[in-house]
Structure 1
Amino acid sequence: MTNTSERSFFDLHITGIGYLNRIREVTPKKGDAFLACEIAALNGPSDDVSYVRFDTRVSGADAQHLVRRCFDAVEAEKKVMIGFRLGDLWTDTFTYSKGKRAGEQGVSLKARLLFISWIKVDGIEKYKAEPKPAETEQEPDETETSPSPEEKPVSKATAPKAKAASPKAARPSSEPADDAADARAPAMAESF
Structure 2
Amino acid sequence: MTTSNERSYFDLHITGLGYLNRIREVKPKKGDTFLACDIAALNGPSDDVSYVRFDIRVSGSEAQQLVRRCIQAVEDEKKVMIGFRLGDLWADTFTYSKGKRAGEQGVSLKARLLFINWIKVDGQQVYKAEPRAIETDGPSSPVPAQAATEATPEQDAPPAPAAETVVNAATQARVPDVAESF
In structure 2, C-alpha distance between the alignment counterparts of 1:38 and 1:49, rounded to whole Å:
18
Corresponding residue for 1:95? 95
> In the TM superposition, what are the counterparts of 1:149-168 in structure 2 within 5 Å?
none
Instruction: Mark the structure with the bigger radius of gyration.
Output: 1
Corresponding residue for 1:61? 61
Corresponding residue for 2:120? 120
Higher helix share: 1
Corresponding residue for 1:33? 33
State the SS of the aligned residue for 2:135. Answer: coil
Q: What amino acid does structure 1 have at the position aligned with 2:34?
A: F
State the SS of the aligned residue for 1:30. Answer: coil
CA 1:133–1:4: 2 relative to 1, 3 Å: closer
- CA shift, 1:3, in A, is 3.2
Q: Is the 8 A contact 2:126 2:179 kept in 1?
A: no
Corresponding residue for 2:181? 191
Corresponding residue for 1:17? 17
Corresponding residue for 1:157? none
In structure 2, C-alpha distance between the alignment counterparts of 1:58 and 1:12, rounded to whole Å:
17
Moved segments of 4+, more than 4 Å = none
Q: Deviations over 1:129-155 (max 9, x none)?
A: 00002235x9x99xxxxxxxxxxxxxx
CA 1:58–1:21: 2 relative to 1, 3 Å: same
Q: Is the 8 A contact 1:72 1:191 kept in 2?
A: no
Q: Deviations over 1:54-100 (max 9, x none)?
A: 00000111000000000000000000000000000001000001111
In structure 1, C-alpha distance between the alignment counterparts of 2:51 and 2:181, rounded to whole Å:
26
Q: Is the 8 A contact 2:43 2:49 kept in 1?
A: yes
In structure 2, C-alpha distance between the alignment counterparts of 1:29 and 1:72, rounded to whole Å:
27
Q: What amino acid does structure 2 have at the position aligned with 1:5?
A: N
Asked which structure has the greater RCO (Cα within 8 Å, sep 6+), the reply is 2
Gaps of at least 5 residues in structure 2 are 140-159, 165-177
In structure 1, C-alpha distance between the alignment counterparts of 2:58 and 2:103, rounded to whole Å:
30
Q: Is the 8 A contact 1:118 1:129 kept in 2?
A: yes
State the SS of the aligned residue for 1:90. Answer: strand
State the SS of the aligned residue for 1:135. Answer: strand
- CA shift, 1:189, in A, is 8.8
In structure 2, C-alpha distance between the alignment counterparts of 1:80 and 1:74, rounded to whole Å:
7
In structure 2, C-alpha distance between the alignment counterparts of 1:83 and 1:125, rounded to whole Å:
11
Instruction: Output the aligned Cα RMSD.
Output: 2.5
Higher strand share: 2
Q: Is the 8 A contact 2:25 2:36 kept in 1?
A: yes
Aligned-residue sequence identity (percent) comes to 80
State the SS of the aligned residue for 2:117. Answer: strand
Number of positions where the alignment pairs a residue of Structure 1 with one of Structure 2: 149
Corresponding residue for 1:107? 107
Q: What amino acid does structure 2 have at the position aligned with 1:96?
A: Y
